[in-house]
Amino acid sequence: MGLVSAKEMLQKAKAGHYAVGQFNINNLEWTKAILEVAQEKKSPVILGVSEGAGKYMGGYKTVVGMVNGLIDELNITVPVALHLDHGSYEACYKCIKAGFSSVMFDGSHLPFDENLAKTTELVHVTSQLGLSLEAEVGSIGGEEDGVIGQGECADPMECKTIADLGVSMLAAGIGNIHGKYPENWAGLSFETLDAIQAQTGDMPLVLHGGTGIPADQVKKAISLGVAKVNVNTECQLGFQAEVRKYIEAGKDLEGKGFDPRKLLAPGVAGIKAVVVEKMELFGSVGKAE
């Protein structure tokens, strides 16, 4: 199966009270690790690509070529969506042209009317092409590729206005933050989530900044309508911890331990362990059977 839109997998997840993980990719190792776990666990999966990661990998066409090649040659049969994470208006069009199956337009930092107008246009374009579109209302705290938010909670009525445009999924701030959570973090605002869900009905909601949210809060968010959870930093930490151990143990200095395939292997195992844990927590294991 080639790349698919995230729309159907998220509608199924919302109806089935589980969530599909979006795991951000950085290179070949990341992509292969995530696809292999998804296949092994029979889970649908969304590969997230930030603008920065797209640039790092050589451009969006390179990413599309790599992902399609891996799906084909690794015989990946579970549904896979390739999704632009926090895209600008221009990046959305570049990714659509390059062959992504899903894009997120992050207009949350724009005046609401401008976010509304650009999201409306992108709803028309993506729906004609059979692609999925994620929109964002109320910026999400922390920093992601230079887009800084204040950790605010979205206005449920603004969420309804954007959801009614016909987007496939909606990201809304509910006190979540990108990256590591500060010690004094107040936790997710379930009151806000509940109010958003009441206004947006069947719309799959997206929880950004999945790293460091306690498991019980993630589960509760899923029970209240979250159908997609984004994981990025946690895979990076899993990779880093294992590569650090390998080097600190001096294994890169033994025999052919310098071979990048050997040096990066523990890091890949670290990413895989995080992806397995998250798919189990989100309840997506076995949902692609």
Binding of Zn ion by 278 (CB under 5 A): no
Number of residues that bind Zn ion (CB under 5 A): 1
Task: For Zn ion, give the closer residue by CB, 40 or 152.
Answer: 152
Which residues within the stretch 211-250 sit at the binding site for Zn ion (CB under 5 A)?
none
For the question of residue 85 being annotated catalytic, the response is yes
SS3 label, residue 141 = strand
Please answer whether residues 48 and 85 qualify as being in contact, where contact means their C-beta atoms are separated by less than 8 angstroms.
yes
Q: Which entry of 85, 106, 155, 259 is annotated as an active-site residue?
A: 85
10's CB contacts (< 8 A; 6+ apart) are 20, 132, 168, 169, 204, 227, 228
Q: Which is nearer to Zn ion, 41 or 228 (CB)?
A: 228
Nearer to Zn ion, 14 or 208 (CB): 208
Give the torsion sign (CA, 165, 284, 197, 12).
Answer: positive
Provide, rounded to whole angstroms, the least separation between the CB of residue 46 and Zn ion: 12
E strand segments, 73-146:
80-87, 102-105, 132-137, 142-144
Nearer to Zn ion, 208 or 228 (CB): 208
The least distance separating Zn ion from the CB of residue 84, rounded to whole angstroms, comes to 11
Q: Which residues of 51-64 are buried (b: 16+ CB within 10 A; e: fewer)?
A: bebbeebeebeebb
Shortest Cβ contact with Zn ion: which residue? Answer: 208
Q: Interaction with Zn ion in 195-214: which residues (CB under 5 A)?
A: 208
Query: Which residues are part of the catalytic machinery?
Result: 85
Give the footprint of Zn ion on this chain (CB under 5 A).
208
